[in-house]
Every structure is written in C-alpha cells, then in structure tokens.
Structure 1
Amino acid sequence: MTLFNLDYNLFQLINHLAVVYPSLNPLMRFLSQEGEYVFYVGIIVYWFTRKEQNRWMVMHSLVAACVALGISGLIGDFLYRDRPFVSHHVNQLIPHAMNASFPSDHATGAFVIATSIWLFRKREGWAWLLLAAGVAFSRIWVGVHYPLDVLAGTLLGFSTAICMYKWLPKWKVTANLLHQGLLLYEKMERRILPINHTKNPQ
C-alpha cells in the first residue's frame, strides 16, 4: 500500500464520520470555516492588553504566519494536489474552491499562531494548540483536505513558529525594526488612548 493510498483510506475513515455522527457536523463546519477568526480575535485581545510580552508575542505570531503561509503557497504551486472532492466522491459539508489542497493553509495558519502563543504563554498555549488541532481535523471531516495536507500544514506552522522564535531575535535589523515600530505605535497609542492611572478615592 502506497502512502497516498493510506492517506486516502484514512481520509475516507474520517470523512465518513460526518455520516456516522451528523450531530457533530455543525461544530466541524464552525471549526473549519470560522475557527480561524477565533485566532484573529485572540491576537487582537492579546495586543490590546498593552503588555509588552503579549505585544512581542503578537508580532512574532504575525511574522511567523507570513513566513509559513508564504512557504505554503510556494509548496502548493510546485507540488500541486487536487482537493478530495475533485478526484473522489466525498461527504463535502462546505463549499470550497477547486484550488491546491497541499498543504492545508488553515492548518498552517492555526498552528503557527497557536505555537507562537504557546512559546510565550505555556499554560493557555495548550488551549490554543487544541483549538488548532480541532481546526485541522475538521478540514478532513468536512471533505476539503486529505490527512497528509493537514499534517504537512501542522508541521509547517509548528516548525516555522519555533524557528522564528529562535532566529528572529538574532536578526538584528529585523528585530530593531520591529522594536522601533512598536515604540512608535505605542507613542501614538498613548496620545489617542491614554491610560487612566487615577486611583479611586478612599
């Protein structure tokens, strides 16, 4: 049995769960289509806590996401693979364009952000990794990705986040640009949204 045969057999097994457990389909649709927005909201919330560590975490996440998704796009162009619903009869629960299937951008994006959060905030980072796993798994369930697609996206997102965490501080020019950009932003922010330090009267 070839790797692609094994991949397809595993896809059939997971995708058939949509028929066996239809009550879970709304959750899988949500994770597959709206799950990424939970990450966007989370990043915004972390940013506006105004804590320095959180803001560096957000900037790290965004840089890592740009790198990971850029690599994913290049891989998709050079190692093009059709979506499962293009080549096979599947239980397709959501509409989707017939574009490159490998690797999964959703898995890449979810895991690069979740891993970035985990690197800075271990305790709550596990919850983000669990959400990322749910997003990745749901893409198979709803019939728009093969298991190898989401596995590749998971590994790409995870490894890129770790590499950026280790390398970004060593890239002095990039790190300095981010630092200066953050200082400029915070200077403007204090003028627009000043922090009220007034204490409540005793």
Structure 2
Amino acid sequence: MKLIYSIHKYDVTLFTWLNNVMIHAGLVRLCRTISRTADGVLYVLVAVWLYWDQGIHDGLLQAMILAFLIERPVYLLLKKGFKRDRPQQALQNFCSVIKPADQFSFPSGHTSAAFMVATLLGYFLPDLLPILYLWAALVGFSRVVLGVHFPSDTLMGMVLGVSTAIFSLDYLLL
C-alpha cells in the first residue's frame, strides 16, 4: 500500500509540474495531433495495406492480429481491475484538455497500442525502430500533456505494448 501511495504521489507531482510549465500551452496542439495518430485508424490502415500487399500469411499482419487479440482484453482487464481515476477526477481544480474515451486511466491504451505496433514494425523494419519508439514515446507523453493520464499510466502502457508484441513474435516465429 505504501508503494502505491508513493507511486501516486510521484505521479501527481510530475503530472502537476508538466501541466503547469510555461510551454504547456504551446505543446497542446502538437500533442493533440500526436495523440490522434494512435487512435487506431493508422493501425487499421497498416493492416489493410499488409493484407492487400502480402495477403493473410504476412508475418507482420499475423503478429499484429495476434497482438491486438491479446493486448486489448488484457488492457481492459487492467483498466477495470485497477479502476484508477483519471487526473480530472483525481485532482481538484484540474480539467483535462480533451475528453477521454473511457472512465479509468491505468494503463494508457494509446501508449500500449503505440509501443506494441512500434515493436512489431521495428522487428520487421529494424532501421525504423528508433523513429517508431520515439513516436510511441511521444504518444505517451502527449497523453500526459493532454491531462488524461498520469506518467505511470503511460509507463505501464509501454510495458504492456512491448510485452504483447514480443510474446506475439515469439509465438508466431517458434
């Protein structure tokens, strides 16, 4: 219990600092754009392109399908299990920049999906891995700037996304 309290205290401190710094207003527009890239449309477009170009037997497409079939239910179980309030509900006098799609914040689904897809794409296109991970990290950062997640929500999203991708690749490539 003390560990959870310490993590929450750190989260609130970092979250509050980030949302009160002078450059916050300038970041919001950029963060909205970055966050939208992880709304899911991009993933569907990649899957459709892979199917059209390579067919259903494409390794990346199969890994993406398996990873999403695992990651989404685990993500939902964690969200409904932890029931962590979003910053707007947890902090007095705070209003998030955007309206989140669901009630709870832990883990960040946008961050999880972004790191999962970045890991999968990076496995098949290793030269792009640094850029893909930078994009995924910016997705997580944007969710904090927009006020819908605490930093540890995005950290857990990263762990979930990378873990799911690695499991899917291991399962399919064995």
User: Larger deviation: 87-96 or 144-153?
Assistant: 87-96
> Aligned residues: percent identity?
28
1:123 equivalent to 2:127? Answer: yes
> Hey, what does 1:187 align to over in structure 2?
none
1:86 equivalent to 2:89? Answer: yes
Looking at structure 2, the residues matched to 16 and 153 of structure 1 have their Cα atoms a distance apart, in angstroms, of 24
C-alpha root-mean-square deviation of aligned residues, in Å? 2.3
Q: What does 1:113-192 correspond to in 2, within 5 Å?
A: 113-170=117-174
TM-score with structure 2 setting the length:
0.85
Looking at structure 1, the residues matched to 6 and 123 of structure 2 have their Cα atoms a distance apart, in angstroms, of 36
> Hey, what does 1:197 align to over in structure 2?
none
Deviations 1:9-39 (A, max 9, x none): 111122234x534222111112223433334
1:63 to 55, 63, 66: 66
> Hey, what does 2:16 align to over in structure 1?
12
TM-score with structure 1 setting the length:
0.74
Runs of 5+ consecutive residues of structure 1 not aligned to the other structure: 171-202
The 1:98–1:160 alpha-carbon spacing in structure 2 relative to 1, beyond 3 Å, is closer
**How many equivalent residue pairs?**
168
Runs of 5+ consecutive residues of structure 2 not aligned to the other structure: none
| Higher RCO (C-alpha under 8 Å, 6+ residues apart) | 2
The 1:95–1:48 alpha-carbon spacing in structure 2 relative to 1, beyond 3 Å, is same
> Hey, what does 1:175 align to over in structure 2?
none
Contact 2:38–2:139 (CA<8 Å) still a contact in 1? yes
